[in-house]
Structure 1
Amino acid sequence: MSGHAFRQFIVKMHGRCNLACTYCYLYEGPDRTWRTRPATAAPDVLDRTAARIAEHARAHALRDLSLVLHGGEPLLAGAETLTRFTRLVRDRVPDGCTVHAVVQTNATLLTAGRLAVLADGGVRISVSLDGGSAAHNARRVDHAGRPSWPAAARGALLAAEHAPSAYAGILTVVDAALDPVETYESLLALRPPALNFLLPHGNWSAPPPHWAGARHGEWLCAVFDRWWDAGRRETRVRLFEECLALLLGMPSATESLGLAPFDAVVVETDGSIEQTDSLKSAYDGAAHTGLDVFHDAFDDALRHPAVAARQAGTASLARQCRACPLLAVCGGGHYAHRYRAGHGFRNPSVYCADLQRLIRHIAARLAAHTPVAASAAPAAPAVPDPHAVFAAPEEGAR
């Protein structure tokens, strides 16, 4: 047995989406593998996936695991299907292993009835939105070009009002063209118990939008100040809490920061075992492993060279990252954001300057808040020109 155990199982319940967001990296990006896969996960795929998850939990004596019901838009598979599969996994894992289930949805298909089914089935609801207003979500349209915001806002508020214990929160991708504080405050109107801000997927060969002068880092700093100055009482913000924990020497549980071992795996609608979808923003087939739940165990995925490379810790990082005093907090940034054609993933993050800006800012605020934190926070180097880090690129896997 090799590698760190998987603890997050992302299962594609439905391979299509009822929206056609113009910026979607999955359906509009370089990867085209979704086109040849079935729209829905068949019962035998779900049955075998549940068995494989239980097998992995037993082999690694897992006390808990995360089950992420994903898509596409997973609610296209039906709320009853989602809860039935969740129950199947819970019934099969060993005694003493807790399954934390969540559905990642665009909220447009949420109704009071579906919320009740999910809540009764012990499935929490995580909503993906670009912001808390129609203007923020103008690029989230259906296949006829109609806006998704009215249905999405209605769904999110239904979760807040009728299923608060099952409402996990909102995930938002940073749009550096929008006002950061206004975006944050608009999301608060949807009463999320937690927020998570993600950097838009991009890399050195396909830079993200508005990528210049650490604009994304500045955007996040502005939101952090608004959240921090309010006493962190309005909602939890995962990215900020993870950064604070790492600055204080505590472990992190996010792919975007820190050096914790990578622990997520994807099962596609046809049963294929893949790496996370974010890699599909790099090139066609980047998440492919050649494995599937009918013929292979998740331990076989742990031994896959690409997965092993992601679990190699600092050994997999670029020389610049290994020498950086922010390494323990930054962790090299999100793996997908390190890609550069011809040099693989052994590069600093395309958001290197942004991450340094954010970490330095949070460290300064934390140090001013408590003298103890001042000695714990690492010194940070000057933010470099983001293009200069490739003056002497490392050898990559491809």
Structure 2
Amino acid sequence: MLAERSDFAAFQDQPITQLLVKVATRCNIDCSYCYWFRDASVYSKPKLMSADVLHRLLQRIEQHVVRYSLAEFPIILHGGEPLLWGVENFDRFAEACDGISARTGCDIPIAVTTNGVLIDDQWLDCFERGNISVAISLDGPAHIHDLNRRTFQGTGTHAAVERAARMLVSRDIGVIALAVCNPAYPPQQYADFFAACGIVNYDIMIPDATVDENPPSIAAFYKGLFDVWLAANRTTQTAKIRIISDMITALLGNNSPTEGVGHKPVELCTVMTDGTVEAHDVLRIAGDGFTSTRFNIFDHEIDEVRNEPRWKAARDASVKLCAKCRECKFMNACGGGYLPHRFSKKNGYDNPSVYCDDLYSMFENMQSVLESHLYFSKPDGSRVAMRDALAGS
């Protein structure tokens, strides 16, 4: 096995190092698989973040980066659909963060996750002014995308989103496409579509589901996606497929940059439109009010959420794996899978992922291929394949 250890010492005293900011709690389209509206409590929140909440949030951000001498503090603007917040608010936020950076020396990269429907030239200008990178939700070609990502009138959104994606690519704006895997379709269809759009950086995410559900198998899809990645990276048309890169990184014993792969604590902090502070927003797929806390940015500093019981419970669950996971040879690389996918009403997070068997198969396939491609040099200058070295050890 390539990855051999897991070490949490470096995380124990680490402050919150990134924020997910919900600037809008409503959406302008009706995606069938959206986790956000599985929790009816989102309807009790203000539709948009107010000027008062924004002012206090900016104060807390500056206080936080100064107190912990942070060199970088990434912020993701999210929703609902965050572009409903408006260009003026995005400009105001970016300008304020630039001011904080100038005063503190802390780099504050800003990203937004959007369905793309509202993107026009005015928004492109805004993203360029604020140096805002964009993650656009685009489920590949139209016949896949429009199955789930539709308007409230039932029509597809693909044409508008593809247009937005091509506009982003045409400008000097960092962009990644976020697709949700539909295992009924071959991964090559996704890859061909993104290549045609000029998008080289994309992710095909595992569909959200809890242990109480019965989602279709995804192993064959992701084995095929790995093959697509290998083929693309043997040419000059390099494809950056995030989930594949993350799994390889984890198998090689390094920390994956995203929370769905690798055995490490999930320490995300989410600020809602009313200033309340929660843990990971996707955890609301567990049910109504499951992520709500009594913490807010008016009465509490950002890092105080680390003492909040529900936040701590989610954080602890992310590293305290069930018995089956602790005995698995891919424990460190897999980390039990994505935390929301481990939830059941009976046992909370004390379960293997609903995709456990698929994940094991995916890692086993990937490890086998990597071992046949990796070599190391012997003292006499000869090279030995990793697979042969492991077989002889």
TM-score (ref. length: structure 2): 0.88
- Residues 1:91 and 2:93 are matched in the alignment: no
Equivalent residue number for residue 24 of structure 2: 14
Alignment of 1:147-296 (within 5 A): 147-161=156-170, 163=171, 165-208=172-215, 210=216, 215-231=217-233, 233-296=237-300
Amino acid of the structure 2 residue aligned with 1:179: P
Q: Which moved more, 1:329-338 or 1:268-277?
A: 268-277
- Quickly say closer, same or farther: Cα 1:378–1:310, change in 2 above 3 A: farther
Q: Which moved more, 1:88-97 or 1:308-317?
A: 308-317
Equivalent residue number for residue 386 of structure 1: none
CA contact 1:51–1:92 (8 Å) conserved in 2:
no
What's the offset of the Cα at 1:301?
A: 0.7
Among 319, 322, 346, which residue is 2:323 paired with? 319
- Quickly say closer, same or farther: Cα 1:314–1:13, change in 2 above 3 A: closer
Equivalent residue number for residue 388 of structure 1: none
CA contact 1:134–1:150 (8 Å) conserved in 2:
no
Rounded Cα–Cα distance in structure 2 between residues aligned with 1:107 and 1:349? 31
Equivalent residue number for residue 57 of structure 1: 65
Among 344, 350, 362, which residue is 1:340 paired with? 344
Rounded Cα–Cα distance in structure 2 between residues aligned with 1:158 and 1:241? 26
What's the offset of the Cα at 1:368?
A: 1.1
Cα offsets for 1:1-44 (capped at 9, x unmatched): x75322221111111111011222212x2x11111111110011
CA contact 2:90–2:126 (8 Å) conserved in 1:
no
- Quickly say closer, same or farther: Cα 1:81–1:15, change in 2 above 3 A: same
Cα offsets for 1:167-187 (capped at 9, x unmatched): 321011111122222122222
Higher share in helix = 2
What's the offset of the Cα at 1:90?
A: 3.4
RMSD: 2.3
Equivalent residue number for residue 7 of structure 2: none
Equivalent residue number for residue 128 of structure 2: 119
Amino acid of the structure 2 residue aligned with 1:20: D
- Quickly say closer, same or farther: Cα 1:292–1:280, change in 2 above 3 A: same
- Residues 1:355 and 2:359 are matched in the alignment: yes
- Residues 1:144 and 2:153 are matched in the alignment: yes
Equivalent residue number for residue 52 of structure 2: 44
- Residues 1:297 and 2:274 are matched in the alignment: no
Cα offsets for 1:289-330 (capped at 9, x unmatched): 221111111222111233324444886211111121111100
Equivalent residue number for residue 101 of structure 1: 110
Rounded Cα–Cα distance in structure 2 between residues aligned with 1:101 and 1:144? 32
Equivalent residue number for residue 389 of structure 1: none
Amino acid of the structure 2 residue aligned with 1:277: D
Alignment of 1:27-42 (within 5 A): 27=37, 29=38, 31-42=39-50
Cα offsets for 1:128-183 (capped at 9, x unmatched): 1121324432321112222211111111110011x2x3132101111112222212
Rounded Cα–Cα distance in structure 2 between residues aligned with 1:364 and 1:377? 13
Please state whether the residue corresponding to 2:179 is helix, strand or coil.
Answer: strand
Cα offsets for 1:215-234 (capped at 9, x unmatched): 21210110110111222643
Please state whether the residue corresponding to 2:139 is helix, strand or coil.
Answer: coil
CA contact 1:132–1:188 (8 Å) conserved in 2:
no
Rounded Cα–Cα distance in structure 2 between residues aligned with 1:185 and 1:56? 43
Rounded Cα–Cα distance in structure 2 between residues aligned with 1:4 and 1:260? 13
- Quickly say closer, same or farther: Cα 1:326–1:81, change in 2 above 3 A: same
Cα offsets for 1:190-243 (capped at 9, x unmatched): 2223111211111111333x2xxxx21210110110111222643211111111
Equivalent residue number for residue 67 of structure 1: 75
After superposing on structure 2, the runs of 4+ consecutive aligned residues of structure 1 that deviate more than 4 Å are 375-379
Equivalent residue number for residue 34 of structure 2: 24
Unpaired runs of 5+ residues, structure 1, are: 380-398
How many matched pairs?
370
Cα offsets for 1:256-301 (capped at 9, x unmatched): 1112332311111111111122111111112112211111112221
TM-score (ref. length: structure 1): 0.87
